Amino acid sequence: MGYFKITSNPKQRSTMKILVAVKRVVDYNVKVR
């Protein structure tokens, strides 16, 4: 988790959450395919 920097900026944190969710969905789709 090197590039997941914990910041005090809530907007950045929610953006990271969205990116993590998107990455999880992409990984899932790649596995299913």
pLDDT at 13: 74
pTM: 0.53
Cα distances from 24 to residues 2, 9, 29, in angstroms, run 17, 23, 9
Domain ranges of the chain: 1-33
pLDDT at 14: 83
| Phi–psi pair at 7, nearest 5 degrees | -115, 160
- Give mean pLDDT, residues 5-10: 62
Residue 24: pLDDT band (50, 70, 90) is very high
Q: For the chain, how big is the Rg over CA atoms in Å?
A: 12
Is 33's pLDDT higher than 60?
Answer: yes
- Name the helix (H) or strand (E) containing 25: helix 10-32
